[in-house]
Structure 1
Amino acid sequence: MAEPFPLAPSLWATTAPPGPETPPLSESGHADVVIVGGGFCGLSTALHLAERGIRPVVLEAREVGFGGSGRNGGQVIPGLKYDPADLVAKFGHERGERLARFAGSTADTVFDLIARHAMDVPHQRAGWIQGAHTAAGLVEVARRAEQWAGLGAPTRVLDKSETARLLGTERYLGGWLDGRGGAVQPLSYARGLARAALKAGAAIHGGSPVTGLARSGSTWTVTTAQGARLSTERVVLCTNGYTGGLWPGLAQTVIAANSFQVATKPLSDNLRRSILPEGQVSSDTRKLLLYFRLDHTGRLLMGGRGPFREPRSARDWAHLERIVGKLFPHLDGIAFDHRWCGRVAITQDYLPHLHEPAPGLLIDIGCQGRGVGLQSTMGRLIADYVVTGDPDRLPLPLTPVAPLPLHAFHRLYVSAIIAWYRLSDGGIR
């Protein structure tokens, strides 16, 4: 896959400490478990396996956090696209409640891991605000806040004035605050997970794209582009928005949308105090949502959808820069010094998918734009499953790999919607 347009390094690449040494795999050998993909899920799986005395080897095509894990907005948002009652209706009482508990715990996982391993990761946990831009959105956020409060989450509904005060914009009719949410420097966090996994006994090899998976009896052979091979009884594949053709049909089960972001130059103290003054992060109720936050350097970040193709020029981010001026008129004309993007994997039902298409091969795919907490927690439960073989340790049932019918047309349809979104500046007038 082509690299993003090289205007400048991402904000995260500029401000993260160096990653650990993860040399390419140079010699063939054996591993207890081979994990393909060095993002949040792969690294969390490796860490939790290594802590249980199992020797995992992570093979990453580029470098730790290169993909969506190191290129997202750094918002740690618990939950899924479905509210708790919707999960119960979809999966039944027992499975649905268990899935809701899993979804509600995902932010805890991130901040617990940062603390437990003393990671060098700028982070803040002041909560997440979801702003409602329509009357229907107001009903939605009130229902969502009530349901999560019923499960013990620290939530509250916000009226228009309180939403405006906390966000620094008058563009929303109201919203809700979920105190479980927060923010991390995502590339620093991915590198922190890698350091913790290495310390626990895992091996991680960057620059080692996997080109082949072959099974003979109970043994898998994992082949890398440089020719080195690993034999193993268990493979975990977690490449999400950067999934290629390694397993037939897998890439066609998701829409690998490009999430674009811009960051301003550091704001003055006065401007910084006028936007998100209490340190929350925010995304809204739009189908193609906008998300924004301040980072630890005092920059305002704005994120949203961009073209499916890799960017060609700074114009591919221009709609986000205009949106900043529309949401925050006092920032109109401010300078931006970072532009970047990364892919997220979106499934048709907006849920993560777990597949086991052959004995010893487990696939996790579908981050839905909430990958920081979701995939960190998924890695822990995947490790439980690898150790115990008990599918009840997984938050979701194992399902067959089922490519989207007419996948190319799904992509064209979504591309058309995104084109409208960009031309209309996210629907903001």
Structure 2
Amino acid sequence: MTASPLNLQSIWAATAPAAPVLPPLRESARADVLVIGGGFQGLSTALHLAEAGVDVMLLETEQAGFGASGRNGGQVIPGLKDDPDVLDALWGPQATEFAGRTADTLFALVERLGIDCDAERGGWIQAGNKRVHLAGLRARMTQWQARGADVDWLDAAGMARATGARGFQGGWLDRRAGKLHPLKLAYGLAEAARRAGARLYAGSPVETLERAQGGWRARLAAGPEVTADRVVLATNAYTPGTLDRALARAVVPAHSFQIATEPLSDEQLSRVLPGGACASEIRRVGTYFRIGPENRLMIGGRGSFSEPRRASDFAALEAELAALYGPGFKVSHRWFGRVAMTPDHRIRLCAPAPGLLAATGFNGRGVALSVALGQAMAAHLARGTPLPIPADTRIRSLPLHGLHPVYGGIAIHYYRLRDRLDR
């Protein structure tokens, strides 16, 4: 007997309204700014450019929110992976300030536009499993606290109360953060951008991008061409090598696996993240979890570099769920998405040629960061406002990029071993 195919519909797709109907581009056209990619970054950039009166066109291969933007955990976390003091030294205090208010930027935008995306500002808990984690977590919290963030330290008992999970030694709560429905957000941004005057096209993959007459020419696979003075590449982990080989090789495209349970009982809801926060672990290969649509417990984590084909491919993640919360949770949805990672966990913001901007490698901070960065990129293009993060004039490709499934898989096993050995 042949096994039935695995249903990989996300809980987001199962609970979102119909996607905005965006037509394919069928005729050649011109725009002042061309945005390539219809995820959070591209949609935010197009929206804010249109609001500034700039003639902007957006081209998306699939539909709005198709990639990681519509499949992530929906956690709105401010900051970057580096601590504030490191960011000050690396890129300057303006980058730290920008990073610290990315969640504020997103929640304010959702409120201003009236986007119905189940936004809740219940905070984010970063959890430490081992005692060795606690000093670093406390230092991070203290640095953000010194910059005005509303945060609190949680000891082991506080973690147990706040998460309902087992085994955490401590952590911190960041009240700037929250959660939302990412696919609804993507759809809402697309509709808002269109209302503001942006021209949005789906089912319109760009095959090549080249300099032309002082600007840029994008050739679509279906034949039409778009010429523009400036271009924003917002394709992140889905950048095809034919479009920009260097940008495609600047990140490691990794899979994040996620599961959602059947709706929780009242008893389960009373003990699992009762304060409405979302959470993630500080382990090198850890999990992130939250209560999602229909009061379902959701948990995600690093998956394999190959795409899942059977329910057993999610067994490791389901084992993490059992380790955190014990038995009694039945999984109803399993899915995955592609995310862009960098070896140093830092975003790559690049201006490699006149009139070309590209950003990739959001490293698990993409919900708040990509929307806020899109707003900042639009301000830079429309009004010359300085970018909050310095842009490199070249795109740094990773060596031996084609072997990333091999060395990436080895690295994951190594990090898991180190996680087990930590005390």
> Are positions 1:80 and 2:75 aligned together?
no
Give the aligned partner of residue 19 of structure 2: 19
For residues 229-308 of structure 1, the aligned pairs below 5 Å read: 229-245=225-241, 246-308=243-305
The counterpart of 1:322, out of the listed 296, 319, 326, is: 319
Tell me, yes or no, if the aligned pair for 2:352 and 2:392 is still in contact at 8 Å: no
SS in 2 for 1:109: helix
Tell me, yes or no, if the aligned pair for 1:307 and 1:418 is still in contact at 8 Å: no
For residues 92-171 of structure 1, the aligned pairs below 5 Å read: 96-171=92-167
> Are positions 1:371 and 2:366 aligned together?
yes
Structure 2 CA distance for partners of 1:123 and 1:410, relative to 1, 3 Å: same
Tell me by how many angstroms 1:415 deviates.
Answer: 1.2
TM (norm. structure 2) is: 0.95
SS in 2 for 1:327: helix
CA distance in 1, matches of 2:48, 2:6: 35
TM (norm. structure 1) is: 0.93
Give the aligned partner of residue 192 of structure 1: 188
Structure 1 stretches of 4+ moved >4 Å: 419-429
The counterpart of 1:395, out of the listed 380, 389, 398, is: 389
Tell me, yes or no, if the aligned pair for 2:35 and 2:46 is still in contact at 8 Å: yes
Tell me by how many angstroms 1:395 deviates.
Answer: 2.1
Give the aligned partner of residue 355 of structure 2: 360
CA distance in 1, matches of 2:104, 2:353: 32
CA distance in 2, matches of 1:237, 1:280: 33
The counterpart of 1:225, out of the listed 208, 221, 226, is: 221
Structure 2 CA distance for partners of 1:307 and 1:141, relative to 1, 3 Å: same
> Are positions 1:404 and 2:393 aligned together?
no
Structure 2 CA distance for partners of 1:274 and 1:98, relative to 1, 3 Å: same
Tell me by how many angstroms 1:416 deviates.
Answer: 2.2
Superposed CA deviations along residues 24-64 of structure 1, whole A, max 9, x for unmatched, are: 11111111211000000000000100000112111011010
In structure 1, runs of 5+ residues without a counterpart are none
SS in 2 for 1:123: coil
CA distance in 2, matches of 1:290, 1:347: 18
CA distance in 2, matches of 1:90, 1:344: 24
CA distance in 2, matches of 1:125, 1:140: 25
Tell me, yes or no, if the aligned pair for 1:353 and 1:399 is still in contact at 8 Å: no
Give the aligned partner of residue 46 of structure 2: 46
CA distance in 1, matches of 2:167, 2:392: 42
Structure 2 CA distance for partners of 1:280 and 1:53, relative to 1, 3 Å: same
Tell me, yes or no, if the aligned pair for 1:70 and 1:190 is still in contact at 8 Å: yes
Tell me by how many angstroms 1:6 deviates.
Answer: 5.1
SS in 2 for 1:33: strand
Tell me by how many angstroms 1:404 deviates.
Answer: 1.1
> Are positions 1:206 and 2:221 aligned together?
no
Tell me, yes or no, if the aligned pair for 2:284 and 2:416 is still in contact at 8 Å: no
One-letter identity of the residue aligned with 1:288: V
Tell me, yes or no, if the aligned pair for 1:326 and 1:428 is still in contact at 8 Å: no
SS in 1 for 2:101: helix
Tell me, yes or no, if the aligned pair for 1:292 and 1:302 is still in contact at 8 Å: yes
Tell me, yes or no, if the aligned pair for 1:323 and 1:425 is still in contact at 8 Å: no
One-letter identity of the residue aligned with 1:402: R
Tell me by how many angstroms 1:214 deviates.
Answer: 1.9
Note the aligned Cα RMSD (angstroms): 2.0
Q: How many residues align?
A: 418
Tell me by how many angstroms 1:409 deviates.
Answer: 4.4
Give the aligned partner of residue 67 of structure 2: 67
CA distance in 2, matches of 1:314, 1:369: 24
CA distance in 2, matches of 1:233, 1:107: 31
Give the aligned partner of residue 9 of structure 2: 9
Give the aligned partner of residue 176 of structure 1: 172
Structure 2 CA distance for partners of 1:83 and 1:421, relative to 1, 3 Å: closer
Tell me by how many angstroms 1:202 deviates.
Answer: 0.5
Give the aligned partner of residue 30 of structure 1: 30
Tell me, yes or no, if the aligned pair for 1:125 and 1:183 is still in contact at 8 Å: yes
Tell me by how many angstroms 1:170 deviates.
Answer: 2.4
CA distance in 1, matches of 2:124, 2:97: 18
Tell me by how many angstroms 1:426 deviates.
Answer: 8.5
Tell me by how many angstroms 1:163 deviates.
Answer: 0.6
CA distance in 1, matches of 2:331, 2:419: 17
